[in-house]
A and B are shown apart, each in its own frame.
Chain A
């Protein structure tokens, strides 16, 4: 079993829909990261959080430390949100990130 599990693996939705991507982990962590990777493009760090909730524009990330679960939400989704969304965790002061497999999101116009 992977230490970081993401669901769903693939998600296709219509423009305007509310999107939720989930991440569960099985290790103790100091922080959880959400990143975005566009096809053929680089990787952008979206959020780093260790508790509660963060919001940036139409993106919201939440984490429940007790349940070892995080969600990434996209409100009013748009085709330009189409990308792979990756969850990664870091343990205590260890620099190494443990990566999820990613969720491929396609938003249709």
Chain B
């Protein structure tokens, strides 16, 4: 399966712990987008990365959240000192070009639950 791979599918953390979400884009894709979906709500853009660069992080909270997309390996969305409000589904998408008229291919998401 050469699609977008996210892991883990489900992640449970206690308040104050760190959460690391991984996303491997489709083969050949160098553009990665992270979205958050709160319960019963639509998707919200968080961050857009190209290899080794953050292009737009305007949708990501300034504190506790960070993202990277290293030269080698998956993109990582990191949430430090998690709180209950971080409970959500986090989706990653990738595309081969960073324009809006290219389809974005989505992973199955990571469901994060904070106890």
Contacts of B34 in A (CB 8 A): none
Contacting pair A95 B99 (CB below 8 A): yes
Stretch at the interface among B16-24, B69-77, B78-86, B102-110: B102-110
Q: How many residues of A contact B (CB 8 A)?
A: 27
B8 located at the interface, meaning its Cβ lies under 8 Å from any Cβ of chain A in the complex: no
Contact with B31, one of A92, A95, A101 (Cβ below 8 angstroms):
A95
Interface residues in B, total, Cβ within 8 A: 26
Flag if B106 contacts A95 (CB, 8 Å): no
- Contact digits for B90-109, partner A, Cβ 8 Å, 1 yes 0 no: 01010100111111111111
Kindly specify which of A14-22, A44-52, A55-63, A65-73 makes contact with the partner chain.
A44-52
CB pair B42–A102 under 8 Å, yes or no, is: yes
Closest to B41 in A: A101
The 0/1 profile, CB within 8 Å of A marked 1, for residues 17-50 of chain B is 0000000000000010100000001111100100
Which residues of B are found within 8 Å of A45, using beta-carbon distances?
A: 103-106
In the bound assembly, the distance between CA atoms of A93 and B104 in angstroms comes to: 14
A89 to B45, CA, bound (A): 13
CA distance A94 to B100 in the complex (A): 5
What is the chain B residue whose CB lies nearest that of A44? B106
A50 touches B42 (CB 8 A): no
How many Å from the CB of A106 to the closest CB on chain B? 16
B contacts, CB < 8 Å to A: 31, 33, 41-45, 48, 55-56, 91, 93, 95, 98-109, 111
- In addition to A30-B99, A31-B100, A43-B91, 17 A-B residue pairs with Cβ atoms within 8 Å of each other are A30-B100, A30-B101, A42-B107, A43-B43, A44-B106, A48-B102, A48-B103, A50-B101, A89-B100, A91-B100, A94-B99, A94-B100, A95-B99, A96-B100, A99-B43, A101-B41, A101-B42
